[in-house]
Homo-oligomer: A and B are copies of this chain.
Amino acid sequence: MAKATAKRTLKWQRDPEGMRLRILEAAKQEFSAHGLAGARVDRIAAKAGANKRMLYYHVGNKDELYLAVLEGAYDKIRSEERGLDLEHLDPPEAIRRLIEFTWNYFLRNPEFLSLLQTENLARAKHLKRSTKVKSMHSPFVEMIRAVVRRGVESGDFQVAVDPVQLYISIAALSFFYLSNSATLGVIFGRDLLDQKAKDERLAHMVGLVLAALTGQSVALFETTKAPKSRAAVAQTV
């Protein structure tokens, strides 16, 4: 059976690159599900379909493994961020796109949220050691700076906001809602993650930020019926 040239009873195959990827993927799942201290090296190995020894052979000890996962996560979001060009849009539309992208990225990558939470609980101990991540600047700050400038010049925006503050605020509105949806859900006694709730949240965030910038209340600020809900939240990249 199997391929013609293959020897019959192969106990295992060599696949260093594939193995490394499977390890990192399994580690990402494990660390985001259980945090740093809660993660189990044995479970990562099992999930990767590998022997525990492989983790140390291909990546390193638990801490190095965790840092590698974290770096990978930052790498991924930065790479997607670069694909979002806001230059051609008029300023309010650009801000909307930015908010939608952030929201959808967090929705599509919940592990990213968990990893950031975990790293912040560790006071960024690992990130500080990472030379890689430090050099991976988010393009968003400069994008926002340019958009705000254009908006002020065109008269669309009434004030010049500090782009870093705005960046943090936009991230905050999505991040907190999603990362804390579990406790908030219990407190409010309702599911913050069903489609209706998510549509309303996105509308609220866009409305809040645009109203602040333009001075005119966006229709979406109030809870709308959100027609074509699916399309509205479609991936923006």
**Partner-B contacts on A (CB < 8 A):** 34-38, 114, 116-124, 127-128, 133-134, 137-138, 158-162, 164-165, 168-169, 171-173, 175-177, 179-189, 200-201, 204-205, 207-209, 211-213, 215-217, 221-223
Contact = CB atoms under 8 A, between A and B. Distances in A.
Contacts of A173: 169, 172-173
A205 B38 contact: no
A165 B36 contact: no
State the number of copies, please. Answer: 2
B205 A211 contact: no
A161 B137 CA distance: 35
A170 to B, nearest CB: 10
B118 A159 contact: no
Given A161-B204, A217-B158, A222-B161, A114 B124 contact: no
A120 B176 CA distance: 10
A36 B172 CA distance: 24
- Best-surrounded residue of A122, A205, A212 (most CB of chain B within 10 A): A212
Contacts of A171: 176
A188 B164 contact: yes
A39 to B, nearest CB: 8
B201 A165 contact: yes
Contact of A215 (B128, B179, B215): B215
A41 to B, nearest CB: 13
